[in-house]
Amino acid sequence: MEKDNSGMRSHPGQYSFMQLTSLVILRLLIGWHFLYEGFAKVFNPSWSAAPFLLDSKGIFSKFFLAMAHNPHILSLVDISNELGLIAIGLGLMTGTLTRTASAFGILLIILYYCATPPFIGYTYLVPMEGSYMIVNKNIIEAWALVVLIIFPTGHIIGFDRLLFPNKKTSIKS
């Protein structure tokens, strides 16, 4: 890290206090959402991704329908979805492997988006809680994770600081 004579950090990777705080809060909020989505599914023994997958529309619908129709793949999808949501949530909240967690989070959300894209003329059995045309909350959350990858905070405020002690020296707050 370069420091100028005034003691101010002028490295381009430096965040101001407000920037860092808002990025960490964004990370916590998304992590919280993922974590609870995961636990809510675990708490509900009758939960399955099947109704969601069966309601799939669009060009990828065949892929998602095939998932729902194969009981082995479906149980795998259910378990990996639950565990994936919990792992990503914990990763984002504690700042552990933050960028990996964000990348997997984006992947999951993109899958949800592709399964039930909010395109014009598509209607779903479970009505959405808002009105969306192409852009929905999923895509916004995915993009927020992209922002968190580009502006990482786990190595400043998070376990990553302890896991990868060498990295913190490059950008330190």
Partner 1 sequence: MEVIRMSQDEHTENNQQATQEPEKKRYFDRRDILKGLATIPVVGFFFAKLYKSWLLVSMQKSQSERLLSDLGLNGAAPAVLPSGTLKKSGQLLRLGIIGCGSRGEYLLRAAGFAHPTWLESMKKAAIENKLDKRYEDFINQDDLNIVFNGICDVFDVRAESALETVRKGSNKGKENKTAKRYRRYKDMLESDDIDAVIVATPEHWHAQMAIDAAGAGKHL
Name the minimum Å distance from CB 49 to partner 1.
20
Binding mask 112-151 toward partner 1 (x if CB under 8 A, else -) reads: ----------------------------------------
Distances 57 to 71, 92, 171 between C-alpha atoms, Å: 20, 30, 44
Shortest Å, Cβ 59 to partner 1: 25
> Of the ranges 9-17, 51-59, 61-69, 111-119, which one interacts with partner 1 (CB under 8 A)?
9-17
Q: Select from 68, 88, 90, 97 the one that contacts partner 1 (CB under 8 A).
A: 90
Q: How far is the CB of 73 from partner 1 (least distance, A)?
A: 23
Please, where are the H alpha helices in 49-136? Answer: 50-54, 61-69, 71-94, 98-115
Options 74, 149, 157, 171; binder of partner 1; rule CB under 8 A? 157
Q: Which residues on adjacent β-strands are paired with residue 135?
A: 133
Choose the binding region for partner 1 from 48-56, 64-72, 127-135, 156-164 (rule: CB under 8 A).
Answer: 156-164
- Helix count and strand count (H, E) for the chain: 7, 0
- Answer yes or no: are the C-beta atoms of 22 and 148 closer than 8 Å: no
Q: Is 105 exposed, middle or buried (0-12, 13-18, 19+ CB in 10 A)?
A: buried
Residue 96 main-chain phi, psi, to 5 deg = -105, 125
Residue 158 and residue 28 in contact, taking contact as beta carbons nearer than 8 Å: no
Among 2, 5, 17, 127, interactor with partner 1 by CB under 8 A: 17
Q: Which span sits near partner 1 by CB under 8 A: 49-57, 91-99, 127-135, 137-145? A: 91-99
Give the pair of three-digit tokens for residue 16.
């101001």
Contact residues: partner 1, CB under 8 A: 3, 7-10, 14-20, 24, 28, 32, 35-36, 39, 43-44, 90, 93-95, 156-162, 165-166, 168-169, 173
